[in-house]
Structure 1
Amino acid sequence: MRLRCAIAVLIGLAAARAHAITITDDSGASVTLAKPAERVVSLAPHVTELLFAAGGGAHIVGAVTYSDYPKEAQAIPRVGDNKALDLERIVALHPDLIVVWRHGNAARQMDRLQALGIPIYFSEPKHLADIATSIDKLGALLGTQQQARAASDAFTRDIAQLRARYAQRPSVSVFYQVWDDPLMTLNRDNVFDEVIGLCGGANVFAAEKPRVPTISTEAVLAANPEAIVTATPGATKPDRPLPALERWKRWPSLTAVARGNLFGIDGDLINRPTPRLALGAAELCRDLEAARERRPK
């Protein structure tokens, strides 16, 4: 009898291991769940969007400030923001999975979360293809693979269509203005640089270091971009107004100014690595096409 019980236990353990879910997150770490996650805490707005896209919106029990999309996300209880998390409230929600933004949440609090023993998935898509992959991986962790695959396929298809239409169009030099004081931009090590290339554009500061370099007005004037692009306020409004493009009108000979190529795009569409980035990409592509049409004949 004892032998049969022992065998039954071993069979049960083997079956449990066979049904366990193991996924590699964006930090390269393995995340293992004994069963699909039922109670998930999202610690970044883009994570909330990805979870909904993967079919797991109903399983999100906690989220951070500015987790505003889709509309249903606005009703999810808040557990902090990108500056501070309410760790006690997170624990009280009894999550079986926490999804965090690797470089957006405080490292000290991440250490405390990891000490709790709750599975943590680090999310930081760095390329357009990573967005689709992230949706599929989260779908696997949630047990919603079919919904996730439909969403990831749709995003991949939208990006492919934009690439086929615009990537080989005549190049447009682009300055992406992240901030105005100090003046900041992005180099090639980010998703939006890839979007610029997707639209047939060329980031004039792609080779700069670090990832978000501070530059001078003189550097922009010397680069003489054909188009200047910035993010306009989405839901994630900063502590002070986003940089305006009006400053560049002091240099009417600047090509982007002379041809009226000063463009603003909803920040939530271009700053979040989610399926909505395809909408932001489509808007940028239309703007750069307008810049081409404004070239002297």
Structure 2
Amino acid sequence: MKKKPIALLLILPLVLTLALGLATGCSTQNEQALKGKTFTDTMGRQITLDAYPQKIISLAPAITEILFAIGLDQEIIGVTDYCDYPEQALTKEKMGGFKNPNLETIVAAEPDMVFIAAGVQEDVIKKLEELKVTVVVLDADTIDQVISNIELAGSLTGKEAEAKKVTADMRTRMTNITSKLKDIAKPTVFVEIWDDPLMSAGSTSFVNNLIEVAGGVNIAAGNTEKFYNYSMESLLQADPDYYIINTHAHTPADIQNRTGYEVLSAVKDNKVYAVDDNLISRSGPRVIDGLEQIAKIIHPEIFGN
């Protein structure tokens, strides 16, 4: 009986050594498989890697949410002033605003990889490239593109398994909605992006995709701009079945009490709703929450409300 602890003490180092060797071997094999591998981001840019990044900066709130969702808390060293979700993002060093990140701070942090959105940030992309910083662009106008971006982020950072888990859940939840909407009448929807001047989301916007997937018709889809001024005359003429606003700007009561809005069907039928702006404007994992909320609003007969 007394010999067993001694035997275990003799065997334990051998087991630990073997386990460490296997882990090191797997790590080496992974790095060798990665070395020189090229990936293509959403702008068609080529990124060649020799190792997974250990120091990552995110310059867009939606991308920050993606990176945290796939388990990169330790690797993320910096985010923008507007990156407020999840809570861990608030503890990271701030790299400036979304439109005007602090390039000096970014370069000083010596990141292995910087994730950035397209659009207004394209000038920043060029400046960072000139400073020899590895830049990855992730941008999306549809839920499917968000899913692809999450999987790409996973491949670029060695978090493929985590990314696939996130996207599998998203696909399941989206299918749960779309599968129940076949041959269902589609109500018309107006989403107020801003009130002064009145603005809505056009056919190329992320919001438009959410409305369509949720089983609705976006009355502002006649314009190809992502966001544009929408006249009161057009609103009255289209007379949407549902009126959706952002929670940060107004309440449904504000819309119902506006002069001239009392003639709208959505107002008369008490179908004015507020949705968290971050769930329908940030192209990250939480878009599925936004999709589910819109589906419940415009199809209460199917999803409840």
Pairwise TM-score range, normalised by the shorter structure? 0.7 to 0.9
Match of 1:140 among 155, 169, 177: 155
Q: Does 1:253 align with 2:268?
A: no
Q: Deviations over 1:70-107 (max 9, x none)?
A: 121111110101232111111111101010111142x4
Structure 2 contact 280–290 (Cα < 8 Å) conserved: yes
Uncovered stretches (5+) of structure 2, i.e. residues with no partner: 1-30
Q: Which runs of 5 or more residues in structure 1 are unaligned?
A: 1-14, 234-240
Query: What residue number does 1:19 align with?
Result: 35
- What letter corresponds to residue 116 of structure 2 in structure 1? V
Identity %: 25
Query: Quick one: distance in 2 between partners of 1:37 and 1:186?
Result: 36
Q: Does residue 196 in structure 1 map to residue 211 in structure 2?
A: yes
Report the 3-state secondary structure (helix = DSSP H, G, I; strand = E; otherwise coil) of the residue aligned with 1:160: helix
The residue that corresponds to 2:142 in the other structure is: 127
1:200–1:222 CA distance, 2 compared to 1 (3 A): same
Q: 5 Å matches for 1:75-114? A: 75-105=91-121, 107-114=122-129
Which region of structure 1 is more displaced relative to structure 2, 161-170 or 145-154?
A: 161-170
- The aligned length equals 271
Distance 1:111 1:220, change over 3 A: same
Determine whether 1:37 maps to 2:56: no
Structure 2 residue aligned with 1:282: 292
CA distance in structure 1 between the aligned counterparts of 2:261 and 2:106, rounded to whole angstroms = 51
Q: CA deviation digits over 1:216-251, x for unaligned, max 9?
A: 111100001111111212xxxxxxx45852455633
What does residue 9 of structure 2 align with?
A: none
- Rate the CA distance shift 1:17–1:290 in 2: closer, same or farther, 3 A: closer
Question: C-alpha distance in 2, partners of 1:242/1:103?
Answer: 27
Q: Which residue does 1:179 correspond to in 2?
A: 194
Letter in 2 for 1:62: G
Whole-Å Cα distance in 2 between the matches of residues 258 and 46 of structure 1? 36
Tell me if structure 2 keeps the 8 A contact 1:101–1:124. Answer: yes
Which structure has the larger Rg? 2
User: Contact conserved, 2:34 with 2:51, CA < 8 A, in 1?
Assistant: no
Structure scoring higher RCO (CA < 8 A, sep ≥ 6) equals 1
Q: CA deviation at 1:120?
A: 0.6
2:205–2:227 CA contact under 8 A, matched in 1:
no
SS at 1:185's partner residue? Answer: strand
Q: How does 1:264-283 map to 2 (within 5 A)?
A: 264-283=274-293
Give me the TM-score of the superposition, normalised by structure 2. Answer: 0.83
Q: Partners of 2:288 and 2:45 in 1: how far apart?
A: 28
User: Is 1:63 the counterpart of 2:79 in the alignment?
Assistant: yes
Distance 1:242 1:81, change over 3 A: farther
